[in-house]
């Protein structure tokens, strides 16, 4: 009976949503980005849409309507030149330095790798028709031009949450007093200097983005996608005209923000469905952890094995003292002085581990994907930020009350022991984590279903242009009321000026009258 009802529901839904041809552009080779983005393409295909995905990660299990165009898979260190550095050396880079050394150069290099890949070039040479182009919003703007090439609406999706650049472009309220730029670390965001720093960086990043970086991306369009129908819109205008933006955020954890109707929060979209299970041996470890488990993972780009010796030894000494089992993603084959309660592997199924009830705390670098996984499963966090948005994510967890942040420079045996014991023994962290988990999940529909609804909505309504900010119809000065404010200031200045002149005239008359009276008194 249940299967019959499910089948009937699918038939009914199919009558309301015709299959569409969708191009899904997610060529960035970061594993964490792909973990978040992959369910969107797979689910669209599962729902009957014909989905073509430009990607570096090959899927073997998918529906027949899921097609893959593979890009050359290269790590960021390969494309920006030089060997892979110890990522821990990036601790302390300012947001400006991080953009200069990693994001600007890496974005341009990755875009060129994607466009120059053999399968991508072959794909671009053939005729295709698409009803929607969905592209990751992460420093690969040249790929937005595919929306123009195929005369289709453009939808964007972030893996890192809110985008200050996109807010500026689309005239979305900036809210710089409470909303920090995504890659800026500010210890006291609402303080005067925190807000000043945020304003400066927002302007700095946007100016470089619009007047330097986009020109470089435009050059890649001309080099690798020739023969576009004229007139070719600028990449800036393509983003400004985007039909939909899907943000990897949610107000239950991130700051509550005012968004236009075509900006939708889908934070945790990769957690809506689980298609994996714990390996049997790892499940036995977790099931048998009488006192619980401490899980340690610094993400796909940061390698624990590259920790400086004194900091590595601090971790090992503290872990040895614990009665809990410690599971640590360690990238080398061996680990000297490994205590008996420590389990190491080069890779772990993180979502599945964090879903196990015996996990008591997650020691993390604070990446947004992992942080959301901890939130979803109600696990307290001890975070050690390295770069990008990690500081902001962990600061948020600390302020809400389900995590603590330990700066990399402050990693010592004493600090680590104190913080770990505090989170393990004080029930308030676990209770708050469960509370945040409940509100993170408390939505009208899952994050993935939300993404599906709005993607299909945009397709059904031919790009839904009426959802875009009406301020885009007028210039920046008018949309921000600067001309009105300026006229009011000018009128007030004129009034003040006239008032002062009148006062001066009255004062002059008074002085003249006084002088006359004094003159009369002298003559008398």
What pLDDT digit, counting tens, does each position of 13-23 carry? 444 457 999 99
251 and 336 fall within a common domain:
no
Exposed e or buried b per residue across 394-423, where buried means at least 16 C-beta atoms within 10 angstroms of its C-beta:
bbbbeeeebbbbbebeebebeebbebbeeb
SS3 percent helix, strand, coil of the chain, rounded to 5, is: 50, 10, 35
154 and 109 assigned to the same domain: yes
Predicted confidence at residue 435, as pLDDT, reads: 97
What does the pLDDT look like over 354-402, one tens digit per residue?
A: 999 999 999 999 999 999 999 999 999 999 999 989 999 999 999 999 9
The upper half-sphere exposure of residue 89, i.e. CA atoms within 13 Å in the direction of its Cβ, equals 5
CA angle 60, 63, 69 (to 5 degrees): 60
Is residue 9 included in any domain, yes or no?
Answer: no
342 occurs within a structural domain: yes
- What six digits make up the tokens of 332? 């080398």
Residue 256 resides in a domain? yes
Q: Is the Cβ–Cβ distance between 364 and 297 less than 8 Å?
A: yes
pLDDT value of residue 101: 87
* Cβ-based neighbour number of residue 452 at 10 Å: 23
Asked if the structure places residue 133 within a domain, the reply is: yes
Same domain? For 292 and 423 the reply is yes
The end-to-end CA distance of the chain, in Å, is 120
**Is residue 1 included in any domain, yes or no?**
no
Helix, strand or coil, per DSSP, at residue 40 = helix
Tokens of 18: 């015709």
Which residues of the chain fall below pLDDT 70? 1-17, 82, 275, 514-516, 518-524
Q: Which residue has the tokens 């821990």?
A: 88
Q: What is the pLDDT of residue 13?
A: 47
pTM greater than the 0.85 cutoff:
yes
Residue 225: its pLDDT value, please? 96
Same domain, 461 and 334: no
Q: Each residue of 506-517: b (16+ CB within 10 Å) or e?
A: eeeeeeeeeeee
What's the CATH number where 187 sits?
Answer: 3.40.50.2000
> Is 3 contained in some domain?
no
- Rounded CA-CA distance 396/388 in Å is 14
Q: Are residues 59 and 206 in the same domain?
A: yes
- 496 and 386 assigned to the same domain: no
**156 and 175 belong to one structural domain:** yes
How many structural domains does the chain have?
3
Do residue 152 and residue 259 come from a single domain?
A: yes
Cα–Cα distances in Å, from 231 out to 5, 129, 148, 152?
51, 19, 10, 15
Query: Do 128 and 107 form a contact (C-beta atoms < 8 A)?
Result: no
Domain holding 499, by residue range, is: 481-523
Same domain, 405 and 453: no
Which phi and psi (to 5°) does residue 154 adopt? Answer: -110, 130
Confidence (pLDDT) at 77: 73
Hey, CA dihedral for 350, 352, 357, 358, is it positive or negative?
negative
Q: 487 and 363 in one domain?
A: no
Crossing angle of helices 413-425 and 309-321, rounded to 10° = 40
For residue 236, tell me if it sits in a domain: yes
**Same-domain status, 464 and 415:** no
Distance of alpha carbon 344 from alpha carbon 325, whole angstroms: 11
Q: What is the pLDDT of residue 157?
A: 98
Q: Outline where 2-69 has alpha helix (H).
A: 2-16, 31-46
Contacts of 66 (CB under 8 A, 6+ apart): 41, 42, 45, 51, 53, 59
Residue 10: inside a domain: no
What is the separation of C-alpha 302 from the centre of its chain, rounded to a whole number of angstroms? 18
Give the separation between CA 382 and CA 172, rounded to whole angstroms. 33
Phi, psi at residue 5, to the nearest 5°?
-65, -40
Looking at the fold, whether 63 and 197 belong to one and the same domain comes out as yes
pLDDT reported for residue 86: 82
């Amino acid at each position: 009976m249940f299967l019959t009802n499910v089948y009937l529901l699918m038939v009914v839904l199919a009558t309301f949503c015709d299959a569409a041809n969708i191009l899904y552009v997610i060529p960035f080779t970061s594993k964490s980005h792909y973990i978040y983005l992959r369910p969107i393409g797979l689910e669209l295909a599962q729902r009957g849409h014909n989905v073509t995905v430009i990607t570096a990660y090959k899927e073997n299990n998918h529906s027949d309507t899921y097609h893959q165009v593979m890009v050359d898979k290269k790590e960021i260190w390969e494309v920006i030149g030089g060997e892979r550095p110890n990522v821990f050396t990036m601790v302390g880079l300012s947001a400006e330095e991080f953009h200069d050394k990693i994001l600007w150069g890496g974005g341009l290099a990755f875009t060129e790798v994607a466009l120059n890949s053999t399968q991508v070039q072959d794909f671009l040479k053939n005729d295709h028709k698409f009803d929607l182009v969905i592209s990751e919003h992460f420093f690969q703007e040249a790929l937005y031009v595919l929306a123009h090439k195929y005369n289709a609406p453009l939808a964007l999706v972030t893996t890192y949450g809110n985008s200050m650049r996109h807010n500026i472009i689309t005239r979305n309220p900036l809210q710089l007093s409470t909303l920090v730029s995504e890659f800026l670390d500010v210890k006291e965001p609402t303080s005067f200097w925190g807000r000043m720093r945020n304003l400066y960086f927002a302007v700095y990043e946007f100016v470089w983005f619009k007047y330097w970086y986009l020109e470089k991306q435009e050059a890649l369009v001309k080099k690798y996608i020739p023969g576009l129908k004229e007139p070719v819109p600028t990449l800036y205008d393509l983003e400004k005209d985007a039909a939909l933006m899907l943000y990897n955020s949610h107000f239950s954890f991130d700051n509550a923000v005012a968004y236009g109707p075509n900006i939708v929060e889908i934070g945790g979209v990769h957690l809506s469905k689980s298609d994996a299970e714990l390996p049997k041996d790892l499940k036995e470890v977790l099931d048998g952890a009488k006192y619980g488990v401490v899980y340690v993972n610094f993400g796909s780009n940061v390698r624990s094995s590259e920790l400086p010796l004194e900091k590595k030894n601090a971790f090992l000494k503290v872990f040895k003292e614990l009665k809990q089992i410690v599971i640590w993603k360690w990238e080398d084959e061996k680990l000297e002085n490994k205590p008996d309660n420590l389990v190491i592997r080069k890779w772990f199924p993180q979502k599945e581990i964090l879903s196990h009830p015996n996990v008591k705390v997650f020691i993390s670098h604070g990446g947004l994907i992992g942080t959301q996984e901890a939130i979803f499963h109600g696990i307290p966090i001890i975070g050690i930020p390295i770069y990008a948005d990690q500081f902001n994510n962990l600061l948020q967890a600390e302020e809400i009350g389900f995590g603590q942040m330990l700066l990399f420079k402050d990693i010592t045996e004493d600090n680590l022991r104190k913080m770990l014991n505090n989170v393990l023994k004080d029930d308030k962290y676990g209770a708050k984590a469960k509370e945040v988990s409940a509100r993170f999940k408390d939505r009208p529909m899952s994050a993935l279903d939300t993404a599906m609804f709005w993607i299909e909505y945009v397709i059904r309504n031919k790009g839904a242009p009426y959802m875009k900010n009406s301020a885009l119809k007028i210039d920046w000065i008018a949309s921000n009321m600067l001309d009105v404010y300026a006229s009011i200031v000018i009128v007030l200045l004129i009034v003040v000026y006239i008032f002062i002149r009148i006062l001066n005239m009255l004062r002059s008359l008074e002085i003249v009258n006084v002088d006359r009276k004094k003159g009369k008194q002298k003559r008398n």
